[in-house]
Amino acid sequence: MLLRCRTPTRRPFEFCLKRSYSAIEQRRQQAYQGGGKDKQDSQHNKGKLTARERLSLLLDTNSFREYDCFVEHQCHDFGMQDKKYAGDGVVTGHGTIHGRRVFVYSQDFTVLGGSLSKSNAQKILKVMDQAMTVRAPVIGLQDSGGARIQEGVDSLAGYADIFQKNVLASGVVPQLSLIMGPCAGGAVYSPALTDFTMMVRNTSHMFVTGPDVVRVVTNEDISQELLGGAKTHTTKSGVAHNDYANDIEALQGMRDLFDYLPLHNQDTIPTLPCDDPIDRQDQALDSIIPSDPSTAYDMKEVVERIIDNHSFFEIAPKFAQNILVGFGRLGGQSVGIVANQPLISSGALDMDASVKAARFIRFCDAFNIPLVTMVDVPGFMPGTGQEHAGIIRHGAKLVYAYCEATVPKLTVITRKAYGGAYIVMSSKHLRGDYNVAWPSAEIAVMGAAGAADVVFRNHPDKKSMEQEYKDKFSTPLMAASRGYLDDIIQPRSTRTRLIEQLALLKTKSIQNPWKKHGSIPL
């Protein structure tokens, strides 16, 4: 007997596709919820935004494209098989800031404390690889309890892989870190390897070992805030460059910084339309230098009067305040600014100031950002504290950075430029492209009083000899007569002169001798 097989009933393909897509969207929504509403509410109660809220404020509206939102950890030990979350504690992808491409990752503290797993690390590595491939910056929003203990060495390997990628990307694409919660143990070294690090006051912390370990090992009783809070790292350690009152201000600060930076090391310098006249002359600059050489003035005011729209984005304003570094624009073009600050220690260079400036100079040189140096420096800071702690070694870093830099280097001496500090501060001898001085400049081995004590120690009329020395060296004419200055200019014309020279130097092309890398005195 012939049996007939009944064809099974088939549902329309569209129905199957819809059901499948519905399951996918359900899983996507789970990823968007992170660790759940309760934990997101807890995050808000601490004054913190969630990982996705942060990205929505950092990036242009609707520009974010996410990677790997369905990724889960693969750990099945210690009950972890029941603790799987879509996305696994970090949100990754790319977007734009003011229309310019950027890759991002944002750690989600609501998912297992934002701890780093193997899968989690692979997500971060993927966006870093993509950033290198397409030549775009990377911004990391850090909010993590550290290594995921349940994964053991896999978590440590994840950190190591990220460190390696940070180093390979260094000098190729800008890398920026924003600490928005805890960042402890091995986790701190990735931000430390990036170019600029920002923190949020009261809610972000960085330390290699936390207060509990410190208490056990050293018997010191210290809070998280004092050990590794924003104030500590922006004023004492110099680990962080800027701090902000809350998440919203910090994310806006990151957007502002991003605007000054090229996308990669072969990109053109960001240039915005400039409504500040190139030939604007500020007569206040003609009288800003006090007649008494021992009276201080604010170099930051000088910088702001010269750059476009008086807008100066200062880096590390609370650390090593005797030197200013930061970004501004001249004729719409981004420039890096290094300036002695006479208000603090008369602008003398010490260890922290040397390292702060050297690191900034090397960043600008890596990304072809021209350097403008404003000089009023009496020398290096004297004293056994500085000498014994290595002022020679740290000062050499600043020398090295300026000597190595091949970007356009423009230098303006406003008042004092004494001794070795004159040489170090982007002098003509260190391949300065355009070196000028104001009429108030003094270029000498040391001040007149100190010189007279040495040179005319036994002279019967030491006072008159001091005046003679002062008359000879208290003007920039001797340096100009030897070609060490390109010109002596009126202070009011500084802005115009610098913009003219920047335009001239756009085609500058010099190369250092080939080497694998130099040996900077670290």
CATH number at residue 488: 3.90.226.10
Does residue 15 fall inside a structural domain? Answer: no
d(CA 364, CA 164) in angstroms, rounded, equals 22
Domain limit, last residue, from 241, 258, 275: 258
CA 232 from centre of chain:
17
d(CA 483, CA 333) in angstroms, rounded, equals 28
For the chain, the domain total comes to 2
Q: Which of 31, 421, 448, 452 is catalytic?
A: 421
Token pair recorded at residue 486: 């390109």
The answer to whether 420 is a known catalytic residue is yes
* 102 and 166 part of one domain: yes
* 320 and 419 part of one domain: yes
Give the model confidence (pLDDT) of 136-166 as tens digits.
Answer: 999 999 999 888 877 789 889 999 999 999 9
* 245 and 366 part of one domain: no
d(CA 214, CA 212) in angstroms, rounded, equals 5
The whole-number pLDDT of residue 1 equals 45
Does residue 27 fall inside a structural domain? Answer: no
Residues constituting the chain: 522
Low-confidence residues of the chain: pLDDT under 50: 1-3
* 113 and 155 part of one domain: yes
- What residue numbers bound the domain in which 64 lies? 35-258
The whole-number pLDDT of residue 102 equals 98
The Cα-based distances of 258 to 263, 270, 313, 406 in angstroms read 9, 10, 11, 23
3-state secondary structure of 364: helix
Alpha-helical regions (H) of 336-447: 351-366, 384-389, 391-404, 419-424
Q: Which of 171, 186, 210, 238 is catalytic?
A: 186
Does residue 329 fall inside a structural domain? Answer: yes
Given the structure tokens 């229309």, which residue do they identify? 99
* 137 and 224 part of one domain: yes
* 307 and 400 part of one domain: yes
CA 111 from centre of chain:
29
Q: Which of 238, 332, 420, 450 is catalytic?
A: 420
* 299 and 235 part of one domain: no
Indicate if the alpha-carbon torsion angle 224, 230, 236, 241 is positive or negative. positive
* 94 and 173 part of one domain: yes
Token pair recorded at residue 414: 């406003």
Does residue 298 fall inside a structural domain? Answer: yes
Q: Which of 35, 89, 93, 185 is catalytic?
A: 185
Does residue 20 fall inside a structural domain? Answer: no
Does residue 180 fall inside a structural domain? Answer: yes
Picking from 439, 415, 412, 410, the residue whose alpha carbon sits closest to that of residue 505 is 410
Helix axes of 247-258 and 51-58: crossing angle, nearest 10 degrees:
40
The whole-number pLDDT of residue 327 equals 98
* 248 and 347 part of one domain: no
The answer to whether 36 is a known catalytic residue is no
CB 428 within 8 A of CB 484: yes
The answer to whether 152 is a known catalytic residue is no
CB 307 within 8 A of CB 329: yes
* 203 and 303 part of one domain: no
The answer to whether 186 is a known catalytic residue is yes
Would you tell me how many other CB atoms lie within 10 Å of the CB of residue 394? 21
Does residue 173 fall inside a structural domain? Answer: yes
* 290 and 206 part of one domain: no
* 308 and 194 part of one domain: no
**pTM score:** 0.93
d(CA 242, CA 11) in angstroms, rounded, equals 60
522 beta partners: none
Does residue 483 fall inside a structural domain? Answer: yes
d(CA 53, CA 58) in angstroms, rounded, equals 9
